[in-house]
Amino acid sequence: MKKNQTTSRRIFVKQSTLLAGSMLTAPLIGRSNFFSGADETIKVALVGCGGRGTGAAMQALQSKQKVKLVAMADAFRDNLDNCYKSIAEELSNVTKGNASQQSAMLDVPEERKFSGFDAYKKAIALADVVILATPPGFRPIHFEEAIKMGKHVFMEKPVATDPAGVQKVLATAAIAKEKKLNVVVGLQRHYQDSYRALFEKKDLIGDITSAQAWWNNEGVWVRPRKPNQTEMEYQMRNWYYFNWLCGDHITEQHIHNIDVINWFKGSYPVKAQGMGGRQVRKGKDHGEIFDHHFVEFHYADGSILNSQCRHIPGTMSKVDELLVGTKGKIITGKASIVDHKGNSLFQFDNKKKERNPYQTEHDELFAAIAKSEYRFADAENGAKSTMTSILGRMATYSGQIIEWDKAINSGLDISPKTFDWNAPPPITPDSEGNYPIATPGVTKY
């Protein structure tokens, strides 16, 4: 995962998996939020036109339903233009140059292309379903607007970068449930066949007593500062390295692994403590985030998750989860369950072609909408798994034991007070261009 990390979700690899969100069944409800039949075209708005937004839009368009992209929004017009071009080129390949088929899927004229901080509102208003794929710091306000307007939502993980944002998403999730609006969150593992099979068989290992999770690799892209950029523009271009936008890589990436443990345990930690820092990745363009974290998450039943994530080139790469129970253990990377002597209790059939989970989440979401079904309410879990990762970040930044209840109710808000290109972001550099860095033992919460 280097410069092409933003588009990597479009390529299915076994280690990256899909979160199957909460699936709810309900009778058909009013037409105000749904569609009466497969002949109706589902109109989609894309908010956030980077690599992930491009991939998600294509996956939506390639679901088995009649789906049309009708509006696009991004803070930066060049992102939008590049995204539109990529989608058009990919659709041309998919349709083998069939112009009429392509126009039936991509219908975003100039007047439905919006840029700037308020662009999301204009795009959301024009669609039935909204794809939210901006940097995660914007997710709470974008999700709130989409549900306010009565739209179904696919939103990328994480869903916030601070406790205040998590609380906003939880409040909005409750409204989405009341309105029976489908919400899928891109925590992919719940939508991958092997993970679903392991979850169904998890009782084979008895009570879960401990777990381990890893997201260790070389790291991701860096976008250096360019002349004449305001500080706001620079940070938004180089968003991965600023917590108000990204949440640090423990939140932006490692949430996937942490979420698997929460999912299989059916609960969330009550406290955390850990360590971390900046050992290698500590340049000016690396903003304020750490390059390694190790967190010990404690659950109410006494079980512990030892979680590690690292972005350091030349080190061991591993993205995986392990759950240990009283009777055996689940090794997700091998899609297997064994007893404590190593004897197989279950093995997912690797000979069977596993579906691309990134596509599956869109296939199932749009199928539910087309059938007028309310099946997906992922936002609450997405918010609480996001909060778990934030809890870990607070623990590593401070070196303190951080309690869930105190953290989530702290009101900690690291978002900007004003969204404007000339407004100061929440964190700014000193005269030499260096950003303040959290210091364990000094940083307090």
Q: Looking at the domain assignment, is residue 440 inside a domain? A: no
Same domain for 165 and 33, yes or no, is yes
Same domain for 156 and 263, yes or no, is no
Q: Which pLDDT value is given to residue 350?
A: 74
Q: Looking at the domain assignment, is residue 165 inside a domain? A: yes
The dihedrals phi and psi of 124, each to the nearest 5 degrees, come to -60, -40
| Other CB atoms within 10 A of residue 110 CB | 5
Report the distance separating Cα 197 and Cα 190, nearest Å.
10
Same domain for 264 and 366, yes or no, is no
325: CATH: 3.30.360.10
Q: Looking at the domain assignment, is residue 397 inside a domain? A: yes
Same domain for 349 and 361, yes or no, is no
3-state secondary structure of 330: strand
Asked if residue 72 has pLDDT above 70, the reply is yes
- The per-residue pLDDT for range 220-271, each reduced to its tens digit, is 999 999 999 999 999 999 999 999 999 999 999 999 999 999 999 999 999 9
Q: Looking at the domain assignment, is residue 436 inside a domain? A: no
Q: Which pLDDT value is given to residue 39?
A: 52
Q: Looking at the domain assignment, is residue 424 inside a domain? A: no
Percent of the chain clearing pLDDT 70 (strictly above): 91
Tally of domains in the chain: 2
Same domain for 63 and 148, yes or no, is yes
Q: Which pLDDT value is given to residue 3?
A: 39
Residue of 269, 295, 290 lying closest to 280 (CA atoms): 290
Same domain for 14 and 121, yes or no, is yes
Q: Which pLDDT value is given to residue 196?
A: 98
Q: Which pLDDT value is given to residue 387?
A: 99
Report the distance separating Cα 211 and Cα 150, nearest Å.
39
DSSP 8-class letter at 137? G
The dihedrals phi and psi of 154, each to the nearest 5 degrees, come to -110, 120
Asked if residue 338 has pLDDT above 90, the reply is yes
Residue of 361, 392, 395, 338 lying closest to 63 (CA atoms): 361
Same domain for 319 and 346, yes or no, is yes
- The per-residue pLDDT for range 85-96, each reduced to its tens digit, is 999 999 999 999
Q: Give the residue, 147 or 349, on which the prediction is more confident.
A: 147
Query: Among the listed ranges 20-29, 106-115, 121-130, 310-319, which one has the minimum average pLDDT value?
Result: 20-29
Beta bridge partners, 309, equal: 215, 293
Q: Which residue range(s) make up the domain with 227?
A: 193-354+386-408
48: CATH: 3.40.50.720
Average pLDDT score over the chain: 92
Q: Please answer whether residues 62 and 75 qualify as being in contact, where contact means their C-beta atoms are separated by less than 8 angstroms.
A: no
Q: Looking at the domain assignment, is residue 89 inside a domain? A: yes
Same domain for 219 and 338, yes or no, is yes
Same domain for 246 and 327, yes or no, is yes
Task: Give the pTM.
Answer: 0.92
Q: Looking at the domain assignment, is residue 430 inside a domain? A: no
Asked if residue 33 has pLDDT above 70, the reply is no
Q: Which pLDDT value is given to residue 352?
A: 74
Q: What residues contact residue 398 under an 8 Å CB cut-off, 6+ apart?
A: 438, 440, 441, 443, 444, 445
Q: Which pLDDT value is given to residue 280?
A: 97
CA 345 and chain centroid, separation: 32
Q: Is residue 122 very low, low, confident or very high in pLDDT (cuts 50, 70, 90)? A: very high
Same domain for 106 and 41, yes or no, is yes
Torsion, Cα 217 236 247 181, to 10 degrees, reads -110
Asked if residue 424 has pLDDT above 90, the reply is yes
- The per-residue pLDDT for range 240-250, each reduced to its tens digit, is 999 999 999 99
Cis status, amide bond into 158, omega within 30 of 0: yes
Beta strands (DSSP E) in 78-193 are 113-115, 129-132, 152-155, 183-185
Q: Which pLDDT value is given to residue 324?
A: 98
Q: Looking at the domain assignment, is residue 112 inside a domain? A: yes
**Mean local confidence (pLDDT), 134-158:** 98
Asked if residue 34 has pLDDT above 50, the reply is no
Same domain for 146 and 246, yes or no, is no
Q: Which pLDDT value is given to residue 353?
A: 80
Same domain for 316 and 211, yes or no, is yes
CA 225 and chain centroid, separation: 26
